[in-house]
Amino acid sequence: MNPILKMALRRAKPGTGSSNEFLDRRTALQPVPDLSTILGTIPWVLVGGIAIRAYMPERITFDVDVVIHEKHELRARKAFISAGYVVTGDLSIGGFSVRQENQIDTPVIDVLVSHASWLREALAHPEHDAAGLPVIPRPYLMLMKMEAGRERDLSDVKRMLRDTPQSERSSTHALISRHTPEMVEDYEALIQLANIEFGSPR
């Protein structure tokens, strides 16, 4: 088990989560460029820090993360360049970053590319945030954040679990078991922590 989760399980106490009023808040304050116009028919969804605003209180980030299938990477690069963006670098996890040309105060857009077996399903059935933008479904976002494994990502998963019904918790468990079985124990620990802090799912 992840050592951070082991420590959290030892220290967690019932009723120590944030207030329900705060956790029920859903906003879309951070602006996102018109990616549908830029990318056209290329399927995309928001991921990363900006995507969590569909499932928990918004946290302002310094970039906008999206994911597309790797077969569309070249088309996406050309589409951004045609829309007045410049490619500022490649991502170590696969993909590239772009920014509007001569607009240093605009957000960086990180375009993640993936060939994960679950990606087609995630792109075909997005959720939507308060601004109506397509967001990766919660089970896949939790999977991605657990793969990232940073403390903040694990905390995000725990908070998202607060409002995840039991049926979706079970289907997410099956998703993780199928694609990343080594993370099942960590997922189960996060469920325990969510139940301790926020109570059983409503």
Give the start-to-end residue ranges of the domains of the chain.
3-198
- Reported as a single tens digit per residue, the pLDDT across 91-146 is 999 999 999 988 777 789 999 999 999 999 999 999 999 999 999 999 999 999 99
Select from 1.10.357.10, 3.30.420.40, 3.10.110.10, 3.30.460.40 the CATH code of 3-198. 3.30.460.40
List 89's β-bridge partners, or say none.
Answer: 97
- Reported as a single tens digit per residue, the pLDDT across 141-166 is 999 999 999 999 999 999 999 999 99
User: Computed from CA positions of residues 111, 115, 119, 121, in that sequence, does the dihedral angle turn out positive or negative?
Assistant: positive
Q: Is 169 left (phi over 0), alpha (psi -120 to 50) or beta?
A: alpha
pLDDT value, residue 106: 79
Helix (H, G, I), strand (E, B) or coil at 62: coil
pTM of the model: 0.89
- Computed over every residue of the chain, the mean pLDDT equals 91
